[in-house]
Structure 1
Amino acid sequence: MNRHIAKGLLFVGLVFSGVYLLRSLDAQLFQPAIIREYILSFGWIAPLVYIFLYTIRPLFFFPAVILSLAGGLTFGPWWGTFFDLIGATLGSFLAFGAARKLGRETMEKWTRGRLGKLDIYMNEQGFKAILFLRLIPLVPFDAVNYGAGLTRIRFRDYALATPLGILPGAFAYNYLGASLHQVFSPMFFMAIALVIALMIIPAGYKRWNRKTTNMVTMEGRRKI
C-alpha cells in the first residue's frame, strides 16, 4: 500500500510541478519567434534540439501548438512536420510510460476496480480510440498521453495510433507556423482554413457515424 501511495504522490507531484513551471515561465517563451531564435542559435544541431524540446515538453505541459508553430516557422512546413512528428511521438511515449509506471496501480486502488469497462474498451478498441482523439485538435494532447497510460490499452495500439493521429494536426500547425513569415498572405489564409477544417471534420464524422448507426439500428428493429 505504501508503494502505491508513493507512486501516486510522485505522479501527482510530477503533474503539479509541470503546471507550476509552466505558469512561472516568461510570457516571451510562448512566442514562436522567440523559440525559433533559441533553436537556431544551436546551429547545425537545431533539429535535434527541437526534437529534444518536443520530447520533454509533456513533463512541463508546455503547449504543443506553440512548439508546432515554432517548428514550422523555423524549418518550414515539411521538415517542421517531420521533426514535430518525431518529437511529439517520443514525448507521448514518455508521458504514457510515466502515467503507467507511477499512476496505474494507484488509480486502481483509488477507483477500487471501477475502471473495468474502460479497460475492456481500451484493450479492445484502443487503436481506434487513440486515433480518433489524436485527430481532434481540441482534445488536449497531454490529457490523451497521460490518460491512456492510466488504462490497460496495449502499448502497441497506442504507439501505432499516435503518429498516425497527430500527423494531420502536425502538418496543419507547422504549415500555419511557416505562414507567419508572411501574415495575411494566401498561404496564411490557407493554413487557417486547414486548421479549421481539422477541427470540424472529425467532429462532423463522429456525428454522422452516430446518426448512421442509430438509423441502421432502428431499421433492424423494424424488420424484427
Structure 2
Amino acid sequence: MKGRVRLLLALLLVAGIVLALSLGGGLDVRTLEHWVASAGLAGPLIFIAFYTVATLLFLPGSLLTLAGGALFGPLWGTLINLTGATLGAALAFLAARYLAADWVQGRAGGLLKRLIQGVEAEGWRFVAFTRLVPLFPFNLLNYALGLTRLPFGQYLLATAVCMLPGALAYTWLGYAGREAIAGGEGLIRKGLIALALLAALLFLPRLIARLRRPP
C-alpha cells in the first residue's frame, strides 16, 4: 500500500512538472506582479508560495527573483526571494527522499554509487559549493541531493546561507531595472551596485576553486 501511494505521488509530481514546463514559456511575470501588488499585505506570502511551487515544478527562478526585487525592493525582496527559493528547495529534497531515495540507494552501483558516496562524504560542504557557484542547475540539484543520505538540517542550512549572495545580486538587479524604468533617483549608483554584485557572483567560482585547492 505504501509503495502504491509513493508511486501515485511520484506520477502526480511528474505530471505537474511536465505541465509546468509545457506552460513555462508562457509564464507572465507582469501578471504575477499585478496579483501580488493588488493583494496588499498578503502579497509577500502569495509571492513566496508561488516561488516555492515554481521551484518544485522546475520553473525559472531567476525571473521570479528579478520580479521580487522589482516588487519589494533590495532588502525585503532578498529576504522574500530567499525564503521562497529555500522552501522550494526543501520540498524538492524531501519529495525525492520520500519517493525515490530508497529505490535509488538499493539499485545504485558503479559510478553512480561512487558519486553518491562522494557527495555524502562532502556533506554540507558540497551543498555550500553548489549553491555558491551559479553553474549548477538549481531545480534539478534539489531533487538529486534528496536521493543521497545527506542530513536534511545540513542541507537546509547550507542552502539558505549560501544562496544569499546570488539572491541579493539578482534581487538588486531587478530593483535597479524597475528604478530605471520608473526614472528614480540615483540610477547610476544603483546600476553600478547591481553590476558590482553580479561581478562578485561571477568571480565566486574562481575564488572557491582557489580556496578548495590543496597547497
- Whether TM-score is above 0.5 comes out as yes
Match of 1:144 in 2: 141
2:197 matches 1:194: yes
Whole-Å separation in 2 of the counterparts to 1:22 and 1:179: 29
- CA gap of 1:99–1:113, structure 2 versus 1, over 3 A, is farther
State the 1:34 CA deviation. Answer: 3.6
Q: Name whichever of 55-64 and 98-107 sits farther off.
A: 55-64
Equivalent residue number for residue 170 of structure 1? 167
Distance 1:193 1:19 in 2: 37
Alpha-carbon distance in 2 for matches of 1:44, 1:9: 37
The percent of aligned pairs where both chains have the same amino acid is 37
- Equivalent residue number for residue 120 of structure 2: 123
Q: Is the 8 A contact 1:118 1:151 kept in 2?
A: no
Please name the residue that 2:206 is paired with: 204
Specify the alignment match of 1:219 in structure 2.
Answer: none
Distance (whole Å) between structure 2 residues aligned to residue 153 and residue 114 of structure 1: 18
Count of residue pairs brought into register by the alignment: 208
The CA deviation at 1:193 is 3.5
Q: Relative to 1, partners in 2 of residues 1:26 and 1:206: Cα closer, same or farther, differing over 3 Å?
A: closer
8 Å contact from structure 2 (residues 127, 159) kept in 1: yes
CA distance in 2 between partners of 1:132 and 1:26 (Å): 30
CA distance in 2, matches of 1:129, 1:88: 18
How far apart are residue 28 of structure 1 and its match? Answer: 5.3
Between the aligned partners of 1:54 and 1:73, the Cα distance in structure 2 is 15
Q: TM-score if structure 1 supplies the norm length?
A: 0.81
Q: Which residue of 1 aligns with 2:32?
A: 35
Q: Is the 1:135–1:165 Cα contact (8 Å) retained in structure 2?
A: yes
What stretches of structure 2 of length at least 5 have no aligned partner?
A: 182-186
Work out the CA distance in 1 between the residues paired with 2:67 and 2:144: 26
The residue type paired with residue 22 of structure 1 is L
Whether the aligned pair in 1 keeps the contact of 2:20 and 2:59 (CA below 8 Å) is no
Structure 1 runs not aligned, ≥5 long: 217-224
CA contact (8 A) 1:15 1:59 kept: no
Instruction: Map residues 37-186 of structure 1 onto 2, 5 A cutoff.
Output: 37-112=34-109, 115-183=112-180, 185-186=187-188
Rounded Cα–Cα distance in structure 1 between residues aligned with 2:41 and 2:97: 36
CA positional deviation for 1:114: 5.9
Q: Which one-letter code corresponds to 1:50 in the other structure?
A: F
**Which stretch of structure 1 is more off in the superposition, 187-196 or 66-75?**
187-196
Is the contact between residue 93 and residue 159 of structure 1 (CA under 8 Å) also seen in structure 2?
yes
